[in-house]
Amino acid sequence: MLRSMYAGISGMKNFQTKLDVIGNNIANVNTHGFKKGRITFQDMVSQTISGASGGGNNRGGVNPKQVGLGSQISAIETIDTQGSPQMTDRMLDVAIQGDGYLIAQVGNDIKYTRVGNLGFDQSGTLVTSTGALVLQSNGDPIVINDINQVSNISIADDGTVSFMRNGTPGTAGVIGVARFPNNGGLEKSGESFYIPTEASGPPAHGQPLENGAGKLLSGRLEMSNVDLSEEFTEMIIAQRGFQSNSRIITTSDEILQELVNLKR
């Protein structure tokens, strides 16, 4: 009887975590560049009551007798699918169509993001909305000197940042992008930034449209890849799973109460 209680407890904990993941997905349904999470379960170790035996002497084999001891979390994955590009008509907004992450310097750390609402600070340096420096593939920032004297700043598909100064065209640099062997292995570090891990593999810095990297769409931002209809369906499943596991505990408790009352 206690085994069923522990199995019910493990199921309730897992479905509670599933609801946490779903809640975070729904909370970020309008977060630019957000990649949704997905949780999967697996069964825990099973208690073997009797092992399997082969047949022989005109007698068939016997399958093993095992009782499962509940479930556990197998993985909480980041689903790295493309979000829909949203038109903004702002030339410094960029969305990456395809594989790749923008390279940003946050303090002394190098981080990566899919959020492309960019702008220039007072010194003419290209930065993200959080103030992180947008880097080229070689690690240099993109700077326009005397930015108050330039006009018609634009970003091309290949990441080239162009401008006009006194009627003469110029370029400030090329926005770099990084690709990883396993995008799902990246670790979220807050503010829509990612950092590499051993699972993701080392980053390969390059430029848009090179070596399999995607292109930059100026005047657009990548939306979240969260599907609300899917999340609401998973929420109902998680709720019913939680209720079912709580029912296992209630039923086991009622049977234990009957055993206690046998002495009366």
CB atoms within 10 A of CB 37: 19
Q: Please report, for residues 9, 147, 149, 163, 264, the alpha-carbon distance to residue 166 in angstroms, rounded to integers and kept in the order given.
A: 71, 12, 8, 10, 100
Question: Residue 2: is its pLDDT beyond 80?
Answer: no
From 24-28, 66-70, 199-203, the region with the lowest mean pLDDT: 66-70
pLDDT at 153 (0 to 100): 94
pTM: 0.88
- Tell me the per-residue pLDDT of 25-38, one tens digit each, with 9 for 90 and over: 999 999 999 999 99
> Would you state the pLDDT for residue 264?
66
**What average pLDDT is seen over the chain?**
93
Tokens read off for 89: 């008509």
Over residues 111-162, the pLDDT tens digits come to 999 999 999 999 999 999 999 999 999 999 999 999 999 999 999 999 999 9
Give the whole-angstrom CA distance, residue 88 versus residue 84: 13
58 vs 103 pLDDT, higher one: 103
pLDDT digits (tens, 9 = 90+) for 70-85: 999 999 999 999 999 9
Whether the CB-CB separation of 216 and 94 falls below 8 Å is answered with yes
CB proximity list for 230: less than 8 A, separation 6 or greater: none
Q: Answer yes or no: is pLDDT of 204 > 90.
A: yes
Q: Is the pLDDT confidence value at 177 over 90?
A: yes
Kindly report, residue by residue over 222-249, the tens digit of the pLDDT.
Answer: 999 999 999 999 999 999 999 999 999 9
Q: How far apart are CA 182 and CA 198, in angstroms?
A: 10
Looking at residue 158, its pLDDT comes to 95
Which alpha helices (H) appear in the chain, and where do they start and end?
2-27, 228-260
pLDDT at 259: 85
Both structure tokens of 252: 């086991």
Q: What is the mean pLDDT of residues 81-93?
A: 94
| Span 84-103, average pLDDT | 95
Supply the DSSP string of 225-256, one letter for each residue: ---HHHHHHHHHHHHHHHHHHHHHHHHHHHHH
Q: Any idea where the domains of the chain sit in the sequence?
A: 2-50+64-80+226-263, 85-222
* Mean per-residue pLDDT, 82-91: 94
